[in-house]
Amino acid sequence: MTQPLSSSDVVDALGADLRSASYTTDGVAALLGADAGAAFSRGLFWSAMHVTERAGADQQRLAVLVRLFLLGVDEPRDRVELALPTAGVDPLIDNGVLETTPRGTVVAAVDLRAHSDGVRDFLVVSDQDAAMRPGPVRRDHVLGIGGASVSLAQAVVRNPVQRALDLGTGCGIQALHLDAHCDEIVATDTNQRALAFAAATARLNGMSWDLRYGSLFEPVAGERFDLIVSNPPFVVGTGSLDFLYRDSGIAGDALCASLIEQAGDHLEPGGTAQIMANWIVREGHDWRARVAGWLEGTGLHAWVVQREFADPVSYVSLWTSDAGELPEDAARRGGQWLDWFEAENIAGVGMGMITLRAPRSGERRPPDHILEEITGADEMLTGPEVAAFFDRREYLHDTTDEQLLGTRLSTAPVILEEQSLPGPEGWQVVGAAVRRPGGPGAVLGVDEVTRALLAGCRGEVPLGVLLDLLAAHHGVDGQRLAVAALPVVREAIGRGILYEAQ
């Protein structure tokens, strides 16, 4: 067998067995229970093992599947035959799903798990990670559901579109989520094993994607899409090609730069590209300047968010441990990697999301580039927030100051946060800000006048009238207050703290 799950009949039979055994997110959660399920999500397997061993007769099939595919333990062949009666053990062995052990038992050869987008349940097949199998992963290892893929899926704008591209699809996580709102999905990868897993994932879920082999935009030369998503092999390194899931074979962060520079050639007017990326941060340099250089000349609007920054040791340690290499191999490779970082004067690596928006047909405004660091755990990028961000930027460009002064504005639900220091007269406020909970970067520093302005924006009177009232109350010139306040108002609108009342 060249690639896993090459038989469509076996894939169909496997899917039927899994569904009939209630191998779903809800089914597994119900079997494990809240406590064991929570422990399992933290990487503690023993409690889940205990629960499955005590499962009743009506849950025996599901218990065997959980032990096989989620816990990585071997099972007697007869139990596996009962759990997978339609597919059968031998066909699954022939298709790389199962293996036999020297003891004659059966063990899973792939990672096969249920996944949900909150509405629908999916089945996802990939390679097992280093925690499930001894030794380093394969060179053509295919990642399953990971933190980066989940973050990207959460951030994708889910407006219905005709054509979407999943560049570097891996096992097909992003394509799974795209299926609900995209008429046509093209998914590419440079790893033939990944395309085999993606094909199996699609078939297990009753979907059909146009799967293509190739690097970057080569498989879709001359084509355009309404939406492009990519979780590419973005790891910053020497240019070696040790593991296909992380290494592009291109030194530094040039792969991500190429994706950004070429994306506009493949976006329809008004189309969106959302790309997970890493970028080099050199000693004494601002990361924003480097990524801004990638955007120059693209003609695209952009929102670049750095979610994390890793120093060289932390970064290299993350990726060497992820591959499950032997300590001596990890030490050798890690040392070479760190030497390269030092030679390149690299202080660390920025990690985050780059969202690009192509101008709409007839749009004349200049490219709008916002680059910022947003690291709060409660400030995750979500599809609705990303879509709203670009809508707000367009609104601000299309609305003049004069129009804004005539607009009734409302303040979103926000929290006022104050910083105080003890003084001779008790606690003295030294700083204050308003924050829109859940909004990434949705925080605005405020003074006494701004606080009063935000409190007065209830959608009842135009902004200009409200500013005149504030000017009279504070004994200042109304026109000067308006000039000073409008940039703050625009920033508040840009961060979703103020919005036009309907």
pLDDT in tens, 380-416: 999 999 999 999 999 999 999 999 999 999 999 999 9
Shared-domain flag, residues 222 and 368: yes
Rounded (5°) CA angle 204-207-208: 120
Residue 395 resides in a domain? no
State the Cα angle at 330 between 324 and 331, rounded to 5°. Answer: 155
- What's the mean pLDDT when you consider all of the chain? 95
- pLDDT at position 353 is 98
Q: What is the pLDDT of residues 123-176, one digit of tens each?
A: 999 999 988 888 889 999 999 999 999 999 999 999 999 999 999 999 999 999
pLDDT at 460: 95
Each residue of 296-328: pLDDT tens digit?
999 999 999 999 999 999 999 999 888 888 889
Same-domain check for residues 302 and 375: yes
The candidate with the shortest Cα–Cα distance to 173, out of 111, 87, 237, is 111
pLDDT at 232: 96
Domain around 28: 8-109
Both 151 and 296 in a single domain? Answer: yes
Residue 38 located in a structural domain? yes
Q: Tell me how many degrees the CA angle 21-25-30 measures, rounded to the nearest 5.
A: 75
Question: According to the model, what pLDDT value does residue 321 have?
Answer: 86
Give me the residue label for tokens 């995209």: 182
22 burial (CB, 10 Å; 0-12 / 13-18 / 19+) is: middle
Q: Report the distance separating Cα 290 and Cα 281, nearest Å.
A: 8
Which residue among 381, 410, 445 closes a domain?
Answer: 381
The predicted model gives 345-355 an average pLDDT of 97
Domain end, chosen from 109, 134, 166, is at 109
Burial class of residue 487, CB neighbours in 10 A (0-12, 13-18, 19+): exposed
CB neighbour class for 98 (10 Å; exposed up to 12, middle 13-18, buried from 19): buried
Q: Is the pLDDT of residue 270 over 60?
A: yes
407 and 377 within one domain: no
Task: Tell me the pairing of strands 458-462 and 121-126.
Answer: unpaired
Give the percent of the chain with pLDDT over 90. 90
Q: Are residues 417 and 303 in the same domain?
A: no
Note whether 234 and 277 are within 8 A (CB): yes
Query: Over 90: is that where the pLDDT of 425 sits?
Result: no
User: Domain tally for the chain?
Assistant: 3
Residue type, 162: Q
Residue 435: both structure tokens together:
């924050």
Angle between helices 478-494 and 383-398 (to 10 degrees): 150
φ and ψ at residue 298, rounded to 5 degrees: -80, -25
Q: Specify whether 313 is located in the same domain as 185.
A: yes
Residues 330 and 233 in one domain: yes
Asked if the structure places residue 73 within a domain, the reply is yes
Cβ-count burial 319-350 (b if 16+ within 10 Å, e if not): bbebbbbeeeebeebbeebbebbeeeebbbbb
336 & 237 share domain? yes
Q: How far apart are CA 344 and CA 292, in angstroms?
A: 20
Q: Is residue 464 located within the same domain as residue 374?
A: no
The answer to whether position 116 is within a domain reads no
**For residue 378, how many other CB atoms are within 10 A of its CB?**
9
Spell out the residues 6+ positions from residue 12 whose beta carbon is closer than 8 angstroms to its own. 203
Which is higher by pLDDT, 428 or 493?
493
Kindly report the backbone phi and psi dihedral angles of residue 26, in degrees, each rounded to the nearest multiple of 5, phi listed first: -70, -40
Q: Is residue 88 part of a domain?
A: yes
Domain-terminating residue out of 93, 109, 125: 109
Q: What is the pTM of this model?
A: 0.95
Could you tell me if residue 358 is inside a domain?
yes
Using DSSP bridges, classify how beta strands 98-100 and 106-108 pair: parallel, antiparallel or unpaired. Answer: antiparallel
pLDDT for 279 beyond 90: yes
**CATH number of the domain residue 312 falls in:** 3.40.50.150
Tell me the three state secondary structure of residue 431. Answer: strand
182 plus 49 within the same structural domain: no
Q: What is the pLDDT of residue 2?
A: 66
Say if residues 178 and 210 touch (Cβ distance below 8 Å): no
Q: Which helix (H) or strand (E) holds 266?
A: none
Q: What is the mean pLDDT of residues 78-89?
A: 97
The CA-atom distances, in angstroms, between 88 and each of 12, 74, 79, 213 are 12, 16, 11, 31
312 φ, ψ (degrees, to nearest 5): -55, -45
Amino acid (one-letter) located at 58: D
Q: Are residues 308 and 424 in the same domain?
A: no
User: Of 345, 359, 348, whose CA–CA distance to 394 is shortest?
Assistant: 359
Same domain, 407 and 372: no
